[in-house]
Each structure stands twice: as C-alpha cells, then as structure tokens.
Amino acid sequence: MSQTTFQGSFVALVTPFRNGQVDEAKLRELVELHVANGTDGLIPCGTTGESPTLRHDEHRRVVELVVEAARTRIPVIAGTGSNSTREAIDLTKHAERAGASGALVVNPYYNKPTQEGLYQHFRAVADAVSIPIIAYNIQSRTAINVETATLARLARDCHNIVGVKEASGSLDQMSQVIAACGPNFSVLSGDDNLTLPLLAIGGHGVVSVIANIVPREVADMVHAALDGDFKRAREVHYRLFPLARAAFLETNPIPIKEAMAIAGMLEPEFRLPMCRMSDTNRETLRAVLRQYALVK
C-alpha cells in the first residue's frame, strides 16, 4: 500500500462560464486565489466543476489550464471519472500527460455495477496510469456505494490507489475505511460539515465546496485539526457551519456559484440542466453570506 500522498484542504473547483464558454481568465484568477490562501490542492472537473456538462475538449482544456496556472505550486488532482471505464481511462491518461499530480475517479454512475464490477473498473483505470488515484465514493449521485471491503481490496492490489473522497455521509463507514485501509490511505471528506468529525477519527482532509469562497478559513480549520489543535479547529468549524449548510440549499454547485456571484467572484452562469437558484433561496443564501462579510 502506498504512503499517504494527499492531506489537507483541497478545493472542488467550480468551472466559471461566460456567454456559454469556459471563462479561462476567471479560472486562472481562481487558481491564484487558492495558491494565495493556503489551499493544499486543486480538483478541477469534479461534480462541483459541472463535469457532466463539459464537452471532452472542454474537460481536457480545463485540466490543462489549471495545471498550467498552478505551476506546480500546489498539486492538481483532475476529475477523470466516467460511467464508461474506457472513457475514464482516456481522461485519466490525458490528466497524466497534462502534468496532473493525481486523478479523482468517481463511482460509475447509472450503470449500477456490482462490487466486482467496481473493483475491475477502478483497477483498470489505476493500471493504465502511474499517477496516484483517489476513488470518489458518492452513492447519492451514482446509485452505488463502494463497500469498505472493495476499497480495501483496491488499496491492497493497486499501489497507486492511495485514497478516497468519502461522500457517503456516514462516519461509521469512514471509520471502517480507516480501520481497513490503514493510516497511510488518504481519507478525505466529501462533505464540508463532516470534515472536522472525520479529522477527529483519523481522516486526512477535505475536498471542499465552500473553499471556493472561503479558502483560507477551510485551510485553517483543516491544518489546525491536523496539528492537534482541535479547540481552534472547532471554533472555525462552527463559524463555517452555516455556510456549509447553505451550500446545499439546492443541488451542488448551484448555491456555491450563486454565492460566488453575489460576492462578485464570477458570473452566475450554469450549464443546463443546472440552472439559477430560486429567488427565495438566493435571499436565504445572501443572508448567510452577510455573516462572512462576503456580500458586495
């Protein structure tokens, strides 16, 4: 099993659009924001990056641009998952060629494979590249859970499957994963409101949605907990908790992009079937943002 590769605060980077196209200048600005504010790694083309609605050429371009803009100052872990194993392999090979430090590979969605099918899928992707792979377990969006026994088998058999973004919402399952896969297997929270509890039981960090708008605060909380300063980490956790809840007033990434738009960070533009937030929820979100002095 590999030594721990990824630890800290990783941002599930949004993909900014303008007039129907990827806003490349804005994406570069966002990379600089995270480098300047202590984010430990960038994850483009994940769920928060609206990857299902990016064309393949756009997906590849976003990965290339983020790697280029990061200039090796912080790692880039490219979202490369698909419900087609062949497509996931192609995207992961591209990420490797582009210079990504690793790849985040989501459960195959809609197909609803067996645990054996999941094992073979992740192993095929891992065998096709040399960069580290983080599995992304999110049953709520994929209809299937990567069971702990399957994950432990992958960690044992594939030297470059080094961690999991755990978005099951279950601390019980996270505890099982840490116990089964060992302390050197990176377990990252997929839910901002569970980051601190996960760190308290031996997790390694977070792939954060709210770090898109409060990167310094999320990094401070994670680093405090990793340093054993749980008093400080709890203070930041409770400060961020209302924002973490508001980020899921509607389907992610609608609230976080609306929040960033309210804060003047990007245009409130989505790819259908993602759409603008309801007026009622937007006002609720705006009220939460006032607590963080983010309303302009």
CA distance 104 to 202: 21
Contact 1, 184 (CB under 8 A): yes
Written as one letter, the residue type at 158 is C
Which position has the token pair 């089964």? 180
Average pLDDT on 19-38 reads 98
pLDDT score of 2: 43
Amino acid identity, position 13: L
For residue 264, is pLDDT > 70?
Answer: yes
pLDDT by residue (tens digit) across 58-96?
999 999 999 999 999 999 999 999 999 999 999 999 999
- Examine the pLDDT at 204 and tell me if it is beyond 90: yes
Q: For the chain, which residues make up each domain, given as ranges? A: 8-227
Task: Look at residue 4 and tell me whether its pLDDT is greater than 90.
Answer: no
Please identify every residue annotated as catalytic.
136, 165
pLDDT of residue 197: 98
State how beta strands 205-208 and 186-189 pair: parallel
Please state the CATH superfamily assignment of the domain spanning residues 8-227 in this structure: Aldolase class I (3.20.20.70)
| Rounded Cα gap, residues 286 and 131, in angstroms | 40
Q: Residues 99-106: what's their mean pLDDT?
A: 98
Sequence-distant (≥ 6) Cβ neighbours of residue 241 within 8 angstroms: 193
153-169 tens-digit pLDDT: 999 999 999 999 999 99
User: How many whole angstroms separate alpha carbon 205 and alpha carbon 157?
Assistant: 24
Show the beta-strand stretches assigned E in the chain: 8-12, 17-18, 21-22, 41-43, 77-79, 102-106, 133-137, 161-166, 186-189, 205-208
Helix (H, G, I), strand (E, B) or coil at 277: coil
CA distances from 150 to 82, 101, 197, 235 (A): 18, 24, 24, 36
Single out the residue of 131, 130, 127 nearest to residue 101, CA to CA: 131
Q: Are 190 and 207 in contact (CB under 8 A)?
A: yes
Task: Detail the DSSP E strand segments found in 80-119.
Answer: 102-106
Residues ≥6 apart with Cβ < 8 Å to 256:
14, 48, 209, 210, 212, 213, 247
Cβ-Cβ contacts under 8 Å for 291 (sequence gap 6 or more)? 242, 243
